[in-house]
Amino acid sequence: MDTKELTKLARSLKLPSSSTIFLGDRIKWTKHGGHAGKSTLEKVEEAARAAGFIDEAKVAGASPDGSYVGGEKVLVKENVSVRMGYSYGVTASGNSFWVSVDVKE
């Protein structure tokens, strides 16, 4: 997939403009700290489902003391997978959110 097609895919999945496009096969977005990343994950998932992506995997976990809670979800359609994840720390500065879109040729 060329850069133009990846950019179009990123836009259709409602990924933020700060996403990084890697030539040929990957788009990645990350956010560290705060809470705003949650709404981005929700928008990406909604756009992916509307485009026909379906669940492939879902996992969630936490540390025994509750200082870390996280999870990841993978949606797929044909040769494209959308991996979305989050982790919450003790404070908002410990939160992280990410989306990775991988294309298999």
Instruction: Output phi, psi for 74, to 5 deg.
Output: -125, 130
pTM assigned to the model: 0.89
For residues 9-36, average pLDDT = 90
- Measured CA to CA, the distance from residue 57 to residue 9 in angstroms comes to 21
pLDDT tens digit sequence for 30-72: 999 988 889 999 999 999 999 999 999 999 999 998 888 999 9
Question: Does 24 score more than 80 pLDDT?
Answer: no
